[in-house]
Amino acid sequence: MTEQGPPPPEATPPRLPEPPPSSAPQPVPDRADASGWSQPPATQSPGPPGAFVDRPAAPPGPLLPPGAGSPIAPGPPMSVQPPIRDTSINLSALLMMVGGMVLLIIVIVVLVAALHPR
């Protein structure tokens, strides 16, 4: 028989050293803003934000190739069809699931009838 003594004392985890006191942040240079970018902000257009600025027309240049440039009529081209409604897609999926279930039931009935001992 072996004698067991008292359990050893649990070791205490080492303490982490205290962090040094924080120093004041470094001053931001004149050319940088508070976000850290080193470039000055871009010049803003006159008027309220997002306002359209009248500009002179672009000088005439060579003609654009066919299909380049802005469309004559705004909006999507006429060849684009309107989106399919969600109810049509959901109804089609429901009909396919019902058809699959009916087919599965028919297969099970045929297998049971074919393999059933008489």
Chain segment 8-26, per-residue pLDDT in tens: 667 676 777 776 776 666 6
The pTM (predicted TM-score) of the whole model is: 0.33
pLDDT band for position 104 (cuts 50, 70, 90): very high
Spans of all domains in the chain: 87-118
Could you write out the DSSP letters of every residue in 42-78?
PPPPSSSTT-----PPPPP-SPPPTT-SS-SSSSS-T
pLDDT band for position 45 (cuts 50, 70, 90): low
What's the pLDDT at 99?
97
47-67: average pLDDT: 68
